[in-house]
Structure 1
Amino acid sequence: MILITGASGNLGNAVIENLLKEVTASKIAGLFRNEDKAKSLSEQGVNVRIGDYSNKESLAKAFQGVEKLLLISSSGDDALTDHKNVIDAAKEAGVEQIYYTSGALNRNIADSKLGPLVDSYITTENYIIESGITYTIFQNGLYSETIPFFVGEEVLETGIYLPAGNGKASFATRTDMAEAIANVLASDGHGNKTYITSALPSYSFKEIAEMFSEVSGKTISYTNPAPADYETQLRASGIDEGSIWYAKLLAAIIKNGEYEIFSSDLEKLLGRKPTDLKTYIKQTLLS
Protein backbone atom coordinates (compact mmCIF):
# COMPACT_ATOMS: atom_id res chain seq x y z
CA MET A 1 0.00 0.00 0.00
CA ILE A 2 1.22 3.49 -0.94
CA LEU A 3 -0.12 6.27 1.29
CA ILE A 4 -0.08 9.97 0.39
CA THR A 5 -0.40 12.47 3.21
CA GLY A 6 -2.03 15.82 2.48
CA ALA A 7 -4.17 14.01 -0.07
CA SER A 8 -6.72 16.82 -0.34
CA GLY A 9 -4.02 19.40 -1.11
CA ASN A 10 -2.92 20.41 -4.59
CA LEU A 11 0.31 18.40 -4.66
CA GLY A 12 -1.04 15.35 -2.83
CA ASN A 13 -4.07 15.14 -5.08
CA ALA A 14 -1.92 15.53 -8.19
CA VAL A 15 0.44 12.76 -7.04
CA ILE A 16 -2.50 10.40 -6.53
CA GLU A 17 -3.98 11.24 -9.94
CA ASN A 18 -0.64 10.36 -11.54
CA LEU A 19 -0.25 7.22 -9.44
CA LEU A 20 -3.65 6.00 -10.65
CA LYS A 21 -2.14 5.78 -14.14
CA GLU A 22 0.46 3.28 -12.92
CA VAL A 23 -0.96 1.52 -9.84
CA THR A 24 -4.40 0.07 -9.16
CA ALA A 25 -6.53 2.24 -6.90
CA SER A 26 -6.82 -0.49 -4.28
CA LYS A 27 -3.08 -0.13 -3.62
CA ILE A 28 -3.27 3.63 -3.01
CA ALA A 29 -4.36 5.40 0.17
CA GLY A 30 -4.80 9.05 0.95
CA LEU A 31 -4.57 10.66 4.38
CA PHE A 32 -7.35 13.14 5.10
CA ARG A 33 -8.32 15.09 8.19
CA ASN A 34 -11.98 14.39 7.47
CA GLU A 35 -13.97 12.30 5.02
CA ASP A 36 -15.71 15.28 3.42
CA LYS A 37 -12.63 16.06 1.32
CA ALA A 38 -12.08 12.44 0.34
CA LYS A 39 -15.21 11.87 -1.73
CA SER A 40 -13.81 12.29 -5.24
CA LEU A 41 -10.81 10.01 -4.64
CA SER A 42 -12.91 7.50 -2.70
CA GLU A 43 -15.22 7.23 -5.72
CA GLN A 44 -12.17 6.24 -7.79
CA GLY A 45 -11.39 3.38 -5.41
CA VAL A 46 -8.61 5.08 -3.44
CA ASN A 47 -8.45 4.01 0.21
CA VAL A 48 -9.36 6.74 2.67
CA ARG A 49 -7.39 7.02 5.92
CA ILE A 50 -8.31 9.63 8.54
CA GLY A 51 -5.54 11.29 10.51
CA ASP A 52 -3.99 14.60 11.51
CA TYR A 53 -0.32 15.58 11.61
CA SER A 54 -0.83 16.87 15.15
CA ASN A 55 -2.36 13.60 16.39
CA LYS A 56 0.25 10.85 16.45
CA GLU A 57 -2.22 8.17 17.54
CA SER A 58 -4.49 8.85 14.56
CA LEU A 59 -1.48 8.62 12.28
CA ALA A 60 -0.27 5.29 13.68
CA LYS A 61 -3.73 3.86 13.05
CA ALA A 62 -3.94 5.34 9.54
CA PHE A 63 -0.54 3.91 8.58
CA GLN A 64 -1.38 0.29 9.30
CA GLY A 65 -0.57 -1.91 6.29
CA VAL A 66 1.30 0.89 4.52
CA GLU A 67 4.61 0.03 2.87
CA LYS A 68 5.43 3.34 1.18
CA LEU A 69 4.48 6.69 2.71
CA LEU A 70 4.78 10.09 1.08
CA LEU A 71 5.12 12.87 3.66
CA ILE A 72 4.13 16.16 2.09
CA SER A 73 5.56 19.06 4.06
CA SER A 74 3.26 20.57 6.66
CA SER A 75 2.11 24.16 6.27
CA GLY A 76 1.31 24.38 9.97
CA ASP A 77 2.90 26.71 12.49
CA ASP A 78 5.00 23.90 13.99
CA ALA A 79 6.04 21.92 10.93
CA LEU A 80 8.85 20.04 12.64
CA THR A 81 6.55 18.60 15.33
CA ASP A 82 4.05 17.65 12.64
CA HIS A 83 6.75 15.91 10.64
CA LYS A 84 8.18 14.12 13.68
CA ASN A 85 4.70 12.80 14.50
CA VAL A 86 4.37 11.36 10.98
CA ILE A 87 7.85 9.83 11.00
CA ASP A 88 7.51 8.36 14.49
CA ALA A 89 4.05 6.96 13.70
CA ALA A 90 5.36 5.47 10.45
CA LYS A 91 8.15 3.73 12.32
CA GLU A 92 5.68 2.44 14.92
CA ALA A 93 3.34 1.13 12.20
CA GLY A 94 6.14 -0.68 10.35
CA VAL A 95 6.19 1.50 7.24
CA GLU A 96 9.05 0.29 5.05
CA GLN A 97 9.97 3.52 3.27
CA ILE A 98 9.29 7.23 3.77
CA TYR A 99 9.28 9.69 0.86
CA TYR A 100 9.46 13.36 1.81
CA THR A 101 8.88 16.60 -0.13
CA SER A 102 11.61 18.98 1.02
CA GLY A 103 13.07 22.08 -0.62
CA ALA A 104 15.55 22.45 -3.49
CA LEU A 105 18.10 24.70 -1.85
CA ASN A 106 21.58 25.99 -2.56
CA ARG A 107 23.35 24.33 0.39
CA ASN A 108 26.48 26.47 -0.10
CA ILE A 109 24.89 29.53 1.52
CA ALA A 110 26.77 30.32 4.72
CA ASP A 111 24.27 32.76 6.26
CA SER A 112 20.81 31.32 5.61
CA LYS A 113 17.64 33.40 5.75
CA LEU A 114 15.40 30.31 5.86
CA GLY A 115 14.25 30.95 9.41
CA PRO A 116 11.41 28.57 10.33
CA LEU A 117 11.69 26.80 6.98
CA VAL A 118 14.89 25.17 8.25
CA ASP A 119 12.75 22.84 10.36
CA SER A 120 10.35 22.24 7.49
CA TYR A 121 13.18 21.18 5.21
CA ILE A 122 16.67 20.43 6.48
CA THR A 123 15.88 19.41 10.07
CA THR A 124 13.15 17.07 8.86
CA GLU A 125 15.46 15.49 6.28
CA ASN A 126 17.99 14.77 9.03
CA TYR A 127 15.30 13.37 11.35
CA ILE A 128 14.15 10.95 8.65
CA ILE A 129 17.69 9.81 7.89
CA GLU A 130 18.45 9.33 11.58
CA SER A 131 15.22 7.32 12.08
CA GLY A 132 16.77 4.37 10.25
CA ILE A 133 13.77 3.98 7.93
CA THR A 134 14.61 3.68 4.24
CA TYR A 135 13.99 7.09 2.70
CA THR A 136 13.67 9.00 -0.54
CA ILE A 137 13.81 12.79 -0.38
CA PHE A 138 12.41 15.05 -3.07
CA GLN A 139 13.92 18.51 -2.94
CA ASN A 140 11.26 20.52 -4.72
CA GLY A 141 11.89 23.99 -6.05
CA LEU A 142 9.30 26.73 -6.06
CA TYR A 143 6.12 25.99 -7.96
CA SER A 144 5.75 27.85 -11.24
CA GLU A 145 2.22 28.39 -9.96
CA THR A 146 3.62 30.78 -7.31
CA ILE A 147 4.64 33.34 -9.94
CA PRO A 148 1.30 35.24 -9.65
CA PHE A 149 1.90 35.46 -5.88
CA PHE A 150 5.23 37.17 -6.50
CA VAL A 151 4.33 39.40 -9.46
CA GLY A 152 0.72 40.36 -8.69
CA GLU A 153 -2.40 40.33 -10.85
CA GLU A 154 -1.57 43.62 -12.58
CA VAL A 155 1.98 42.74 -13.57
CA LEU A 156 1.40 43.80 -17.20
CA GLU A 157 0.43 47.29 -16.02
CA THR A 158 2.65 47.80 -12.99
CA GLY A 159 5.66 45.55 -13.57
CA ILE A 160 7.25 43.37 -10.88
CA TYR A 161 7.85 44.95 -7.46
CA LEU A 162 9.72 42.52 -5.20
CA PRO A 163 12.73 42.86 -2.86
CA ALA A 164 14.52 39.82 -4.32
CA GLY A 165 17.54 41.72 -5.65
CA ASN A 166 19.56 39.76 -8.18
CA GLY A 167 18.91 36.46 -6.41
CA LYS A 168 17.86 33.54 -8.56
CA ALA A 169 15.35 30.75 -7.90
CA SER A 170 14.36 27.49 -9.55
CA PHE A 171 10.78 26.81 -10.58
CA ALA A 172 8.85 23.78 -11.84
CA THR A 173 5.18 23.18 -12.37
CA ARG A 174 3.29 21.32 -9.69
CA THR A 175 2.11 18.94 -12.43
CA ASP A 176 5.69 17.99 -13.32
CA MET A 177 6.72 17.56 -9.69
CA ALA A 178 3.68 15.38 -8.98
CA GLU A 179 4.33 13.19 -12.01
CA ALA A 180 7.99 12.71 -11.07
CA ILE A 181 7.10 11.81 -7.48
CA ALA A 182 4.44 9.36 -8.65
CA ASN A 183 6.92 7.71 -11.01
CA VAL A 184 9.29 7.11 -8.11
CA LEU A 185 6.56 5.84 -5.80
CA ALA A 186 5.38 3.38 -8.44
CA SER A 187 8.84 1.90 -8.99
CA ASP A 188 11.68 0.39 -6.99
CA GLY A 189 15.36 1.21 -6.57
CA HIS A 190 15.08 4.62 -4.93
CA GLY A 191 16.09 3.70 -1.38
CA ASN A 192 18.16 6.23 0.59
CA LYS A 193 18.35 8.66 -2.32
CA THR A 194 17.79 12.39 -2.58
CA TYR A 195 16.44 13.87 -5.80
CA ILE A 196 16.34 17.53 -6.80
CA THR A 197 12.90 17.88 -8.35
CA SER A 198 13.00 21.36 -9.84
CA ALA A 199 13.74 22.69 -13.30
CA LEU A 200 16.85 24.36 -14.67
CA PRO A 201 17.99 27.03 -15.05
CA SER A 202 17.30 29.25 -12.05
CA TYR A 203 16.05 32.76 -12.83
CA SER A 204 16.22 36.21 -11.25
CA PHE A 205 13.05 38.29 -11.21
CA LYS A 206 14.70 40.71 -13.60
CA GLU A 207 14.94 37.79 -16.03
CA ILE A 208 11.34 36.81 -15.26
CA ALA A 209 10.28 40.40 -16.06
CA GLU A 210 12.09 40.01 -19.39
CA MET A 211 10.12 36.82 -20.04
CA PHE A 212 6.86 38.67 -19.41
CA SER A 213 8.04 41.40 -21.77
CA GLU A 214 8.89 38.92 -24.49
CA VAL A 215 5.68 36.92 -24.37
CA SER A 216 3.34 39.90 -23.81
CA GLY A 217 4.89 42.37 -26.22
CA LYS A 218 4.96 44.99 -23.46
CA THR A 219 7.89 46.38 -21.51
CA ILE A 220 7.63 44.87 -18.03
CA SER A 221 9.93 46.44 -15.47
CA TYR A 222 11.46 44.93 -12.36
CA THR A 223 11.81 47.07 -9.23
CA ASN A 224 13.79 45.90 -6.22
CA PRO A 225 12.34 47.93 -3.30
CA ALA A 226 13.51 48.07 0.28
CA PRO A 227 11.75 45.34 2.31
CA ALA A 228 10.03 47.97 4.47
CA ASP A 229 8.60 49.73 1.39
CA TYR A 230 7.45 46.38 0.02
CA GLU A 231 5.70 45.59 3.29
CA THR A 232 4.00 48.98 3.28
CA GLN A 233 2.69 48.46 -0.24
CA LEU A 234 1.36 44.99 0.53
CA ARG A 235 -0.42 46.27 3.62
CA ALA A 236 -1.91 49.16 1.66
CA SER A 237 -3.20 46.64 -0.88
CA GLY A 238 -5.12 44.84 1.85
CA ILE A 239 -2.88 41.77 2.03
CA ASP A 240 -3.24 39.88 5.30
CA GLU A 241 -0.37 39.88 7.80
CA GLY A 242 0.37 36.17 7.39
CA SER A 243 0.80 36.53 3.64
CA ILE A 244 2.95 39.64 4.09
CA TRP A 245 5.26 37.77 6.47
CA TYR A 246 5.54 34.82 4.07
CA ALA A 247 6.13 37.00 1.01
CA LYS A 248 8.93 38.92 2.77
CA LEU A 249 10.52 35.67 3.94
CA LEU A 250 10.50 34.13 0.46
CA ALA A 251 11.83 37.32 -1.11
CA ALA A 252 14.70 37.40 1.40
CA ILE A 253 15.53 33.74 0.73
CA ILE A 254 15.54 34.32 -3.02
CA LYS A 255 17.66 37.47 -2.68
CA ASN A 256 20.16 35.42 -0.67
CA GLY A 257 20.45 32.87 -3.49
CA GLU A 258 19.06 30.00 -1.45
CA TYR A 259 16.65 28.76 -4.12
CA GLU A 260 19.30 28.85 -6.86
CA ILE A 261 20.19 25.31 -7.92
CA PHE A 262 22.75 24.07 -10.41
CA SER A 263 21.66 20.48 -11.05
CA SER A 264 18.35 18.65 -11.23
CA ASP A 265 16.93 15.12 -11.45
CA LEU A 266 13.50 16.18 -12.68
CA GLU A 267 14.02 15.42 -16.37
CA LYS A 268 15.41 11.97 -15.54
CA LEU A 269 12.48 11.13 -13.26
CA LEU A 270 9.94 12.38 -15.79
CA GLY A 271 11.54 10.72 -18.78
CA ARG A 272 11.00 13.98 -20.67
CA LYS A 273 11.88 17.64 -20.43
CA PRO A 274 9.94 19.55 -17.78
CA THR A 275 7.86 22.59 -18.68
CA ASP A 276 10.15 25.61 -18.77
CA LEU A 277 9.12 28.79 -17.00
CA LYS A 278 8.67 30.91 -20.11
CA THR A 279 6.32 28.31 -21.59
CA TYR A 280 4.34 28.22 -18.35
CA ILE A 281 4.01 32.00 -18.31
CA LYS A 282 2.92 32.10 -21.96
CA GLN A 283 0.46 29.20 -21.78
CA THR A 284 -1.00 29.76 -18.34
CA LEU A 285 -0.69 33.39 -17.28
CA LEU A 286 -0.95 35.16 -20.63
CA SER A 287 -3.27 32.86 -22.57
Structure 2
Amino acid sequence: MILITGATGHIGAAVLDQLLKITDPGEVAGLVRDEAKAAHLKAQGVQLRVGDYRDPASLERAMQGVRKVLLVSGGADEDGLQQHYNVVDAAKKAGVACLAYTGRALQNPATLANELMVRHFQTEEYIRASGVPYILFRNILYMDTLPQFVGPQVFERGIQLPAGQGRVAFALRQEMGEAIANVLADSRCDNRIFTFTGAATYSFADVATALSELSARPVVYTPIEQPAFAARLHAQSLPEAVIQRISGFLTDIKNGQEATVSTDLADALGRTPASLQEGLPTIFKL
Protein backbone atom coordinates (compact mmCIF):
# COMPACT_ATOMS: atom_id res chain seq x y z
CA MET A 1 0.00 0.00 0.00
CA ILE A 2 1.29 3.45 -0.99
CA LEU A 3 -0.25 6.40 0.89
CA ILE A 4 -0.14 9.86 -0.69
CA THR A 5 -0.72 12.75 1.69
CA GLY A 6 -2.22 15.99 0.39
CA ALA A 7 -4.19 13.77 -1.97
CA THR A 8 -6.57 16.51 -3.11
CA GLY A 9 -3.79 19.04 -3.76
CA HIS A 10 -2.06 19.70 -7.07
CA ILE A 11 1.06 17.54 -6.71
CA GLY A 12 -0.73 14.83 -4.71
CA ALA A 13 -3.36 14.51 -7.42
CA ALA A 14 -0.67 14.32 -10.11
CA VAL A 15 1.11 11.51 -8.25
CA LEU A 16 -2.13 9.58 -7.73
CA ASP A 17 -3.09 10.00 -11.38
CA GLN A 18 0.09 8.25 -12.49
CA LEU A 19 0.03 5.59 -9.77
CA LEU A 20 -3.43 4.54 -10.88
CA LYS A 21 -2.00 3.97 -14.36
CA ILE A 22 0.98 1.85 -13.34
CA THR A 23 -0.07 0.01 -10.16
CA ASP A 24 -3.02 -1.93 -8.80
CA PRO A 25 -5.58 0.70 -7.67
CA GLY A 26 -6.17 -1.40 -4.57
CA GLU A 27 -2.63 -0.59 -3.48
CA VAL A 28 -3.09 3.18 -3.68
CA ALA A 29 -4.40 5.32 -0.83
CA GLY A 30 -4.85 9.02 -0.30
CA LEU A 31 -4.73 10.92 2.99
CA VAL A 32 -7.55 13.47 3.18
CA ARG A 33 -9.05 15.62 5.89
CA ASP A 34 -12.57 15.42 4.47
CA GLU A 35 -13.75 12.33 2.60
CA ALA A 36 -16.62 14.26 1.04
CA LYS A 37 -14.15 16.44 -0.84
CA ALA A 38 -12.34 13.41 -2.23
CA ALA A 39 -15.26 11.51 -3.73
CA HIS A 40 -13.66 11.81 -7.17
CA LEU A 41 -10.61 9.93 -5.89
CA LYS A 42 -12.71 7.19 -4.33
CA ALA A 43 -14.56 6.80 -7.62
CA GLN A 44 -11.20 6.08 -9.28
CA GLY A 45 -10.43 3.31 -6.82
CA VAL A 46 -8.22 5.24 -4.41
CA GLN A 47 -8.61 4.13 -0.80
CA LEU A 48 -9.28 7.13 1.40
CA ARG A 49 -7.59 7.45 4.77
CA VAL A 50 -8.72 10.33 6.98
CA GLY A 51 -6.04 12.26 8.83
CA ASP A 52 -4.70 15.70 9.60
CA TYR A 53 -1.08 16.82 9.86
CA ARG A 54 -1.98 18.49 13.16
CA ASP A 55 -3.48 15.28 14.61
CA PRO A 56 -0.76 12.66 15.22
CA ALA A 57 -3.22 10.00 16.35
CA SER A 58 -5.24 10.31 13.14
CA LEU A 59 -2.05 10.04 11.09
CA GLU A 60 -0.96 6.89 12.86
CA ARG A 61 -4.38 5.32 12.28
CA ALA A 62 -4.30 6.30 8.61
CA MET A 63 -0.91 4.64 8.14
CA GLN A 64 -1.87 1.21 9.42
CA GLY A 65 -1.01 -1.42 6.82
CA VAL A 66 0.84 1.13 4.67
CA ARG A 67 4.22 0.25 3.17
CA LYS A 68 5.21 3.61 1.68
CA VAL A 69 4.13 7.14 2.57
CA LEU A 70 4.68 10.23 0.45
CA LEU A 71 4.73 13.32 2.65
CA VAL A 72 3.68 16.18 0.42
CA SER A 73 5.07 19.31 2.04
CA GLY A 74 2.48 21.59 3.62
CA GLY A 75 1.88 25.26 3.03
CA ALA A 76 3.04 28.35 4.86
CA ASP A 77 1.34 27.68 8.20
CA GLU A 78 3.24 28.92 11.24
CA ASP A 79 3.33 25.36 12.58
CA GLY A 80 4.15 23.86 9.20
CA LEU A 81 7.43 22.32 10.32
CA GLN A 82 5.77 20.67 13.32
CA GLN A 83 3.11 19.29 10.97
CA HIS A 84 5.86 17.63 8.96
CA TYR A 85 7.41 16.23 12.12
CA ASN A 86 4.03 14.79 13.11
CA VAL A 87 3.83 12.85 9.84
CA VAL A 88 7.36 11.51 10.26
CA ASP A 89 6.67 10.44 13.84
CA ALA A 90 3.42 8.74 12.85
CA ALA A 91 5.13 6.85 10.01
CA LYS A 92 7.74 5.54 12.42
CA LYS A 93 5.17 4.48 15.01
CA ALA A 94 3.03 2.77 12.36
CA GLY A 95 5.98 0.76 11.09
CA VAL A 96 6.01 2.29 7.62
CA ALA A 97 8.84 0.76 5.58
CA CYS A 98 9.57 3.81 3.39
CA LEU A 99 8.97 7.52 3.83
CA ALA A 100 9.22 9.86 0.85
CA TYR A 101 9.15 13.66 0.96
CA THR A 102 8.63 16.44 -1.59
CA GLY A 103 11.26 19.07 -0.82
CA ARG A 104 12.93 21.72 -2.95
CA ALA A 105 15.87 21.82 -5.37
CA LEU A 106 17.79 24.82 -4.04
CA GLN A 107 21.50 25.51 -4.28
CA ASN A 108 22.43 26.54 -0.74
CA PRO A 109 20.10 26.31 2.29
CA ALA A 110 22.46 28.53 4.29
CA THR A 111 21.94 31.58 2.06
CA LEU A 112 18.22 31.41 1.30
CA ALA A 113 16.32 34.70 1.36
CA ASN A 114 12.98 32.90 1.56
CA GLU A 115 13.12 31.54 5.10
CA LEU A 116 10.05 29.40 4.48
CA MET A 117 12.19 27.15 2.26
CA VAL A 118 14.53 26.31 5.14
CA ARG A 119 11.88 24.05 6.65
CA HIS A 120 12.29 21.65 3.72
CA PHE A 121 15.86 20.93 4.75
CA GLN A 122 14.88 20.75 8.42
CA THR A 123 12.27 18.16 7.47
CA GLU A 124 14.85 16.18 5.52
CA GLU A 125 17.13 16.16 8.57
CA TYR A 126 14.28 14.96 10.77
CA ILE A 127 13.47 12.15 8.34
CA ARG A 128 17.11 11.00 8.33
CA ALA A 129 17.22 11.07 12.12
CA SER A 130 14.01 9.01 12.35
CA GLY A 131 15.71 5.87 11.10
CA VAL A 132 12.90 5.17 8.62
CA PRO A 133 14.26 4.34 5.14
CA TYR A 134 13.55 7.30 2.88
CA ILE A 135 13.36 8.81 -0.58
CA LEU A 136 13.81 12.57 -0.92
CA PHE A 137 12.40 14.40 -3.93
CA ARG A 138 13.97 17.83 -4.37
CA ASN A 139 11.71 19.66 -6.81
CA ILE A 140 12.51 22.81 -8.76
CA LEU A 141 10.02 25.67 -8.95
CA TYR A 142 6.95 24.56 -10.88
CA MET A 143 6.53 26.14 -14.30
CA ASP A 144 2.84 26.23 -13.39
CA THR A 145 3.52 29.03 -10.87
CA LEU A 146 4.65 31.51 -13.54
CA PRO A 147 1.23 33.23 -13.82
CA GLN A 148 1.45 34.05 -10.11
CA PHE A 149 4.80 35.74 -10.60
CA VAL A 150 4.16 37.63 -13.84
CA GLY A 151 0.61 38.71 -12.98
CA PRO A 152 -2.72 38.58 -14.85
CA GLN A 153 -1.90 41.55 -17.08
CA VAL A 154 1.40 40.22 -18.39
CA PHE A 155 0.31 40.71 -22.03
CA GLU A 156 -0.64 44.33 -21.37
CA ARG A 157 2.10 45.43 -18.99
CA GLY A 158 4.94 42.98 -19.50
CA ILE A 159 6.99 41.54 -16.61
CA GLN A 160 8.55 43.74 -13.92
CA LEU A 161 10.28 41.72 -11.20
CA PRO A 162 13.35 42.05 -8.94
CA ALA A 163 14.82 38.78 -10.22
CA GLY A 164 17.69 40.24 -12.23
CA GLN A 165 18.97 37.72 -14.75
CA GLY A 166 18.48 34.81 -12.37
CA ARG A 167 17.62 31.53 -14.02
CA VAL A 168 15.28 28.67 -13.10
CA ALA A 169 15.15 25.12 -14.47
CA PHE A 170 11.32 25.24 -14.53
CA ALA A 171 9.46 21.93 -14.85
CA LEU A 172 5.76 21.09 -15.11
CA ARG A 173 4.06 19.96 -11.92
CA GLN A 174 2.23 17.16 -13.76
CA GLU A 175 5.52 15.73 -14.99
CA MET A 176 7.02 15.91 -11.50
CA GLY A 177 4.00 14.05 -10.15
CA GLU A 178 4.39 11.42 -12.85
CA ALA A 179 8.07 10.98 -12.06
CA ILE A 180 7.46 10.76 -8.30
CA ALA A 181 4.85 8.05 -8.90
CA ASN A 182 7.24 6.10 -11.10
CA VAL A 183 9.85 6.13 -8.34
CA LEU A 184 7.33 5.19 -5.64
CA ALA A 185 6.11 2.24 -7.70
CA ASP A 186 9.64 0.86 -7.62
CA SER A 187 10.19 -1.59 -4.76
CA ARG A 188 13.46 0.03 -3.68
CA CYS A 189 13.77 2.43 -0.76
CA ASP A 190 17.47 2.94 -0.20
CA ASN A 191 17.77 6.50 1.12
CA ARG A 192 17.94 7.99 -2.36
CA ILE A 193 17.72 11.66 -3.28
CA PHE A 194 16.20 12.75 -6.59
CA THR A 195 16.67 16.28 -7.89
CA PHE A 196 13.81 16.96 -10.26
CA THR A 197 14.39 19.89 -12.62
CA GLY A 198 13.82 20.81 -16.22
CA ALA A 199 16.51 20.14 -18.82
CA ALA A 200 17.47 23.82 -19.17
CA THR A 201 17.37 27.06 -17.19
CA TYR A 202 15.37 30.15 -18.11
CA SER A 203 15.41 33.77 -17.02
CA PHE A 204 12.31 35.94 -16.90
CA ALA A 205 13.63 37.52 -20.09
CA ASP A 206 13.36 34.08 -21.66
CA VAL A 207 9.82 33.75 -20.29
CA ALA A 208 8.93 37.12 -21.86
CA THR A 209 10.41 36.09 -25.20
CA ALA A 210 8.56 32.78 -25.19
CA LEU A 211 5.25 34.44 -24.31
CA SER A 212 5.79 36.97 -27.10
CA GLU A 213 6.42 34.26 -29.66
CA LEU A 214 3.55 32.06 -28.53
CA SER A 215 0.98 34.85 -28.28
CA ALA A 216 2.19 37.09 -31.11
CA ARG A 217 1.95 39.95 -28.58
CA PRO A 218 5.04 41.82 -27.36
CA VAL A 219 6.00 40.98 -23.78
CA VAL A 220 9.05 42.67 -22.26
CA TYR A 221 10.86 41.79 -19.05
CA THR A 222 12.12 44.76 -17.04
CA PRO A 223 14.25 43.97 -13.97
CA ILE A 224 13.34 46.31 -11.10
CA GLU A 225 14.72 46.85 -7.62
CA GLN A 226 13.30 45.14 -4.58
CA PRO A 227 11.99 48.33 -2.82
CA ALA A 228 9.96 49.33 -5.88
CA PHE A 229 8.52 45.83 -6.13
CA ALA A 230 7.60 45.73 -2.43
CA ALA A 231 5.94 49.15 -2.72
CA ARG A 232 3.81 47.86 -5.59
CA LEU A 233 2.66 44.89 -3.53
CA HIS A 234 1.92 47.15 -0.55
CA ALA A 235 -0.26 49.24 -2.84
CA GLN A 236 -2.26 46.08 -3.57
CA SER A 237 -2.87 45.69 0.19
CA LEU A 238 -1.09 42.35 0.40
CA PRO A 239 -0.12 41.22 3.92
CA GLU A 240 3.47 41.88 4.89
CA ALA A 241 4.17 38.17 5.35
CA VAL A 242 3.01 37.45 1.81
CA ILE A 243 5.14 40.28 0.41
CA GLN A 244 8.19 38.94 2.23
CA ARG A 245 7.56 35.45 0.90
CA ILE A 246 7.16 36.54 -2.73
CA SER A 247 10.18 38.81 -2.46
CA GLY A 248 12.17 35.95 -0.98
CA PHE A 249 11.34 33.67 -3.90
CA LEU A 250 12.48 36.29 -6.39
CA THR A 251 15.65 37.19 -4.47
CA ASP A 252 16.60 33.52 -4.39
CA ILE A 253 16.02 33.28 -8.13
CA LYS A 254 18.20 36.36 -8.66
CA ASN A 255 20.92 34.75 -6.54
CA GLY A 256 20.92 31.51 -8.52
CA GLN A 257 19.21 29.28 -5.96
CA GLU A 258 16.88 27.76 -8.59
CA ALA A 259 19.49 27.25 -11.32
CA THR A 260 20.26 23.58 -10.62
CA VAL A 261 19.91 21.28 -13.63
CA SER A 262 19.71 17.52 -13.18
CA THR A 263 18.84 14.58 -15.42
CA ASP A 264 16.88 12.84 -12.64
CA LEU A 265 13.48 13.99 -13.88
CA ALA A 266 14.20 12.90 -17.45
CA ASP A 267 15.44 9.53 -16.18
CA ALA A 268 12.33 8.95 -14.06
CA LEU A 269 10.01 10.02 -16.90
CA GLY A 270 11.85 8.15 -19.61
CA ARG A 271 11.79 11.27 -21.77
CA THR A 272 12.98 14.87 -21.82
CA PRO A 273 10.80 17.11 -19.61
CA ALA A 274 8.69 19.77 -21.33
CA SER A 275 10.56 22.90 -22.29
CA LEU A 276 9.33 26.42 -21.59
CA GLN A 277 7.95 26.67 -25.13
CA GLU A 278 6.11 23.38 -24.69
CA GLY A 279 4.71 24.09 -21.23
CA LEU A 280 3.58 27.71 -21.49
CA PRO A 281 0.72 27.22 -24.00
CA THR A 282 -1.23 25.08 -21.53
CA ILE A 283 -0.39 27.21 -18.50
CA PHE A 284 -1.41 30.48 -20.18
CA LYS A 285 -4.07 28.93 -22.43
CA LEU A 286 -2.34 30.14 -25.59
Q: TM-score range by the shorter chain?
A: over 0.9
Question: Could you list the runs of 4 or more consecutive aligned residues of structure 1 that deviate by over 3 angstroms after TM superposition?
Answer: 237-243
| Count of equivalent residues | 285
Partner of 1:52: 52
Mapped partners of 1:18, 1:262: distance in 2: 24
Partner of 1:105: 106
Partner of 1:187: 186
Task: Describe the superposition over 1:85-137 as per-residue Cα deviations: whole angstroms up to 9, x where unpaired.
Answer: 00010000000000110001113x76322312201x11111111121111111
How far does residue 246 in structure 1 lie from its aligned partner after superposition?
2.6
Give, as a single letter, the amino acid of the residue that structure 1 aligns with 2:38. A
Q: Secondary structure at the match of 2:115?
A: coil
Mapped partners of 1:86, 1:232: distance in 2: 38
Stretch deviating more after TM superposition (266-275 or 34-43): 34-43
Structure 1 residues without counterparts, runs of 5 or longer: none
How far does residue 35 in structure 1 lie from its aligned partner after superposition?
1.3
Partner of 1:207: 206
Partner of 2:153: 154
Give, as a single letter, the amino acid of the residue that structure 2 aligns with 1:101. T
Partner of 2:97: 96
Alignment of 1:262 with 2:257, yes or no, is: no
- Taking the TM superposition and a 5 Å limit, the aligned residue runs for 1:215-230 are 215-230=214-229
Task: Describe the superposition over 1:237-284 as per-residue Cα deviations: whole angstroms up to 9, x where unpaired.
Answer: 454555433321211111121111032300000011111112111344
Give, as a single letter, the amino acid of the residue that structure 2 aligns with 1:10. H
Partner of 1:80: 81
How far does residue 216 in structure 1 lie from its aligned partner after superposition?
2.6
How high is the sequence identity, in percent, across the aligned residues?
A: 42
How far does residue 191 in structure 1 lie from its aligned partner after superposition?
1.9
Q: Secondary structure at the match of 1:101?
A: strand
Q: Secondary structure at the match of 1:157?
A: helix
Structure 2 residues without counterparts, runs of 5 or longer: none
Contact 2:98 2:189 in 1 (8 A): no
How far does residue 162 in structure 1 lie from its aligned partner after superposition?
0.9
Q: CA RMSD in A?
A: 1.7
Return closer, same or farther for 1:110/1:85 CA change in 2, 3 Å cut-off. closer
Mapped partners of 1:68, 1:190: distance in 2: 9
Mapped partners of 2:280, 2:85: distance in 1: 37
Partner of 2:25: 25
Contact 2:133 2:189 in 1 (8 A): no
- Taking the TM superposition and a 5 Å limit, the aligned residue runs for 1:1-20 are 1-20=1-20
- Taking the TM superposition and a 5 Å limit, the aligned residue runs for 1:270-281 are 270-281=269-280
Give, as a single letter, the amino acid of the residue that structure 2 aligns with 1:73. S
Alignment of 1:67 with 2:72, yes or no, is: no
